[in-house]
Structure 1
């Protein structure tokens, strides 16, 4: 057997088969391991899917729970809304009219009480009102904005005396005159029979410049000045203006203008000269004469001259008082208006402005005392004027000018020295004065007929010829200009001509 030959080919095949078997076994083992791994992954995926399914079921349950909660919330909101509506109806029923009116004095915010002086109930906030003359501290409805409640307003109170609304103001009240404005904002008001009272300003009057004589409405129950009332009765008789009339605009009154300038301009413009020589400047001028002769124009020219000729060029004021319209049927009212006029003058004069007070038709206001037939108003009006004129003595920028057609009817005390002591008669113009007046109006701007210009040689010569002819015809006292024949009580007859009716 040892000598038998070895089959190497068979042996090699066997080894190859064993190798392949080992590889197959290894491959089987790997496949089994992979299968086991996949099985584990499958089991893990199944468990994860089961968890997701459970979470989905939990989420569905939570969604259902939230839906139920939402439905309950909606039901609760509906119930709350119905309850609020019911409460609102009950509140409206509680605050149902009728309401009472009151005047609001002040609004108080809540604060800490002062120990030993006030309790907590006092400082919880609220408002002070006046109702039927009684001061009350009441509550403010929580539905109102307390910051929008202003003192002096009309408010509405319900049955529990709580402020539930603001009523529009009526604007009515007692009408009083301002006598003085106090530094703290209060006002001293003058009433009837020399009654005086101190009141507070309503918010509507805060910062308003109130002066003596202004009219305000007052709620006498709370002593509040509510608003200023613009009355026209004083303004109707008092024209406050800066005149634009100059002495150059006035013709035929040369001597009168010279006297006025001597009596007014020099003392006003050069007061130091008067003081140096111990002279007293006149406080008033009386212009008298026939109607329409230029008395008012002279007074306006005085005011204009004072402003134009002043060193600082300040404006002047001309207070034109319409005499007859100043009269009032109520006792003391005319005197009050005279005081207002002079207060206006003092106000302007204190500011450094020259002021001219011009009383037209003085005989209608300041007649001789005791001369009245059906009324004795002059017995109080004249003394009031005299008091005011004497009060002007301390002022350096005020002068009183009066004008009258009947100076004989004016009380002599008004015309005595120290008052209207400069008397100037403004008479009807003579022929020279009439020519001067016509020259003021017949200026180069007025067109002339060409034939008149050619005949006279120039426009200036034509105007001079026209003026001369007109004045000659106007002042001719022949039969052609006679208008009427008058017979006086003695039987003497007088012819009335055009020249007798010429005004300024």
Structure 2
């Protein structure tokens, strides 16, 4: 009986050893399978990343091709907005009513501002003000947002004042940038130091409206008016008219 039990134990031990070896083999195979799976997942992630990069590059190339093959856009100047959502623009000297892209708020557009119009005559982009144009002089401000300006050769023209100048202090004689295609004044230009001293608008004030300076006014008349009223006397007595007058005194003295 003792020998039989010993043989049974040996067989059980051998059986367990065999099962353990089988389990160890399966564990190694499972570990190897997991490593292969992990490696495959990494390769798959790299492949997915490569595909995304390739897709992005293809999309970028497609956009570049579309951009290069697209018809040219046109610059126009914004006038105003209509009740139906369309806008009025100046394009090549013509005033047109066109559609506005939904992404552009109508209230964001300013009079005289440049916009881009596509081949379908739709405003697709808003830009700033054109920095180029003609330099004109302000002659007179009208009450309805317009102004009279002096062009070259002293020609005068009635023009529109853009929103860029609405809140600026404009006065007669100012140098302004004029956009001739749209008829808008878009910028106030600085004057030179000497031009700041020139009175562009002659004051309409008579001598009798100035009080308390009788002696000084007589001196002004003698120096300014006499050489023009009696030039023959100045020539006869070889008198040289004064080249100018220097008026000085504290503020408020006239």
Length-normalised TM-score, structure 2: 0.54
Q: CA RMSD in A?
A: 3.7
- After TM superposition, give the deviation of residue 179 of structure 1 in Å: 0.8
- After TM superposition, give the deviation of residue 185 of structure 1 in Å: 2.8
Q: 1:146 to 1:183 in 2, by over 3 A?
A: closer
Q: 1:143 to 1:93 in 2, by over 3 A?
A: farther
- After TM superposition, give the deviation of residue 209 of structure 1 in Å: 2.4
Q: Measure the CA separation in 2 of the matches of 1:142 and 1:163.
A: 10
Q: Measure the CA separation in 1 of the matches of 2:198 and 2:76.
A: 41
Establish whether residue 283 from structure 1 lines up as the match of residue 221 from structure 2: yes
Matched with 1:304 is 249
Pick the aligned partner of 1:225 from 160, 182, 185. 185
Establish whether residue 188 from structure 1 lines up as the match of residue 148 from structure 2: yes
Matched with 1:431 is none
Aligned residue runs from structure 1 range 294-373, under 5 A = 299=246, 302-304=247-249, 307=251, 314=252, 354=254
Matched with 1:100 is 74
Establish whether residue 147 from structure 1 lines up as the match of residue 107 from structure 2: yes
Note if contact 1:204-1:226 (Cα within 8 Å) is conserved in structure 2. Answer: yes
Matched with 1:133 is 93
Q: Measure the CA separation in 2 of the matches of 1:178 and 1:239.
A: 14
Q: Measure the CA separation in 2 of the matches of 1:179 and 1:239.
A: 14
Q: Specify the SS of the correspondent of 2:248.
A: helix
Larger gyration radius, structure 1 or structure 2: 1
Matched with 1:270 is 212
Matched with 1:319 is none
Q: Specify the SS of the correspondent of 2:90.
A: strand
Note if contact 1:155-1:163 (Cα within 8 Å) is conserved in structure 2. Answer: yes
Q: Measure the CA separation in 2 of the matches of 1:201 and 1:102.
A: 17
CA offsets 1:131-190 (integer angstroms, 9 cap, x no match): 111111110112222221112111001110100001333321111101111122311101
Q: Measure the CA separation in 1 of the matches of 2:222 and 2:76.
A: 54
Note if contact 2:77-2:114 (Cα within 8 Å) is conserved in structure 1. Answer: yes
Aligned length: 164
- After TM superposition, give the deviation of residue 283 of structure 1 in Å: 3.3
Q: Measure the CA separation in 2 of the matches of 1:106 and 1:150.
A: 8
CA offsets 1:229-260 (integer angstroms, 9 cap, x no match): 11215347x399xxxxxxxxxxxxxxxxxxxx
Consecutive unaligned residues in structure 2, runs of 5 or more? 1-58, 200-208, 225-241
CA offsets 1:401-446 (integer angstroms, 9 cap, x no match): xxxxxxxxxxxxxxxxxxxxxxxxxxxxxxxxxxxxxxxxxxxxxx
Matched with 2:126 is 166
Aligned residue runs from structure 1 range 5-24, under 5 A = none
Length-normalised TM-score, structure 1: 0.29
Q: Measure the CA separation in 2 of the matches of 1:216 and 1:191.
A: 11
Q: Measure the CA separation in 2 of the matches of 1:93 and 1:146.
A: 28
Matched with 1:178 is 138
Q: Measure the CA separation in 2 of the matches of 1:208 and 1:175.
A: 17
Q: Specify the SS of the correspondent of 2:194.
A: helix
Q: Specify the SS of the correspondent of 2:136.
A: strand
Consecutive unaligned residues in structure 1, runs of 5 or more? 1-85, 111-124, 241-266, 287-294, 308-313, 317-353, 355-504
- After TM superposition, give the deviation of residue 280 of structure 1 in Å: 5.3
Note if contact 1:107-1:151 (Cα within 8 Å) is conserved in structure 2. Answer: no
Note if contact 2:110-2:162 (Cα within 8 Å) is conserved in structure 1. Answer: no
Runs (4+) of structure 1 exceeding 4 A deviation are 92-97
Q: 1:183 to 1:147 in 2, by over 3 A?
A: closer
Q: Measure the CA separation in 1 of the matches of 2:79 and 2:66.
A: 28
Q: Specify the SS of the correspondent of 1:304.
A: coil
Q: Specify the SS of the correspondent of 2:129.
A: coil
